[in-house]
Structure 1
Amino acid sequence: MQMQVTQFPAGLHEKLSYYVYVYVDTSDDDDRVLYVGKGKGNRCFAHLNQVNDTDKSTEINRLQAEGRLRIDILIHGVDEKTALQVEAAAIDLLRLERLYNQKRGDDSREFGRISTDDLVAKLQPRIVLGAPDFQDDCILIRLRQRYYSGMPAQALYDSTRGVWRVSRESADQVSLALAVHEGIVREVYRIAGWFTAGSTLYATQDLHGPVDRGSPRMEFVGRVADEPERQRYLHADVSRCFRPGAQNPVTYIGPSFPKPEVER
């Protein structure tokens, strides 16, 4: 059935204020959500008029022509900040990879979907560690965009172990690798060995894209550390171990390494 409303009456805009909307494929009984957005005025209808070669535009135009497209408003009458938070939560709940959205919601980094373990670690870290507090020689690896809360253990391991531009001399001294995101340790691995990038198998396919076998980058293999080692560092705040503004995702910390003061 073709949508009847393709713009809001002018008098409705003020009542709507900011809102969050979804594009829905009504082809079957499960009503699949295609896209999540936020806006005001007639923003939710803007995608109907787009003519380009993107997958999103092609699918929306097809479904609209076939009368199998619906636009739902998830929430309305809210301020922009609230709309951003609801949009972020909806995208995280539905999973970005299943939508035509190109990125997570603008507020996902701060307020998006997160496990209770990660939420407590983020808002109230179990312990704050500086370089002098490390009992083991460790390599700290910041995952940045590779990490998301609740990711499978295998994906987290594969994201952490490669591929990195490391000092082979320093890497050979470390026994533990710490997966770090937003300054918090998300997992601890005992390293078995370092290898040339692309020379070992990953269970998570296409995680790092094609890797040049001639690259100077390295990857490690290992396993989750034993509990005594793991509990020394898991969910600890190690942000002070990275210099402000430092871009290198890797740093070495432990008894065998210098202990720079990186207080904030």
Structure 2
Amino acid sequence: MLQNLEIRVPSAVPRWGGAHFLVFRNLRVHTGGNPWTMAMYSIFEPILYLLAIGVGIGQLVGDVEGVDVPYAAFVAPGLLATAVMNSALHETMEGAFVKFTQERFYQSILFTPVSLTGIVVGEVAWAVLRGFVTALGFLLVITVFGLVSWSNAVITAAGTLLVAFAFGSAGLAVTTRIRTWSDFQYVQLVLLPMFLFATTFYPVTVYPRPVQVIVETLPLYHAIQLLRGCALGQLGSGMIVSVVYLLVLGALGLVVARRQWARIMLH
């Protein structure tokens, strides 16, 4: 029935399926029109990590060997990537799960000019906005602390858009496999080891080569490599691999999410 409805009103469906309507709706619902409210909540935890580990332990560590930057400046981009990842995933995982299972929001919105494609694109776009606002708040703090230069902060902010896109798309695809709230525990079993071992707190060179290969396959590793290179002004050809990795992850996530949500909602 819902599939037939979507076909009957193609002339009423705006470009991109009305995705912008969903973004505006989410912005109003979550913040009352003030996006900086999101940043305040999202950066609190990574700031605590930065103060406790980056600054506290950094006083004992000194400069990071092979990178020649203070430990706090090395850790900050890793925490930034984690904060952006968590913000994007929160919207396309827990947020999407609630809208589908409890609020029945997605089922209702299909009776409007917003199409299924609009829902998928809109939710990912919203996740990108959420991650970007979080990034701006965190970047402002670490720039004021002198851990990132203002010019590098601008480049890093652009990189966070790609990170948010990759994880937002992947999260929306994974959510189609979530059946109950307890299933999110399995997600945490993936996210926590990534946070701890994907070079957030130390270079990948501390691992033996076989372990390095495994770490280099993790999406958070590439997010950290991209943002760390931008934040420290150490741009190189090696970052192209991370950019391509995140682009492919985001594009693949969009395709899978569109297909899976169609299977769930239209059949």
Q: Which has the larger radius of gyration?
A: 1
More helix by share: 2
TM range, smaller chain:
under 0.3
Q: TM-score, normalised by structure 2?
A: 0.26
Q: TM-score, normalised by structure 1?
A: 0.26
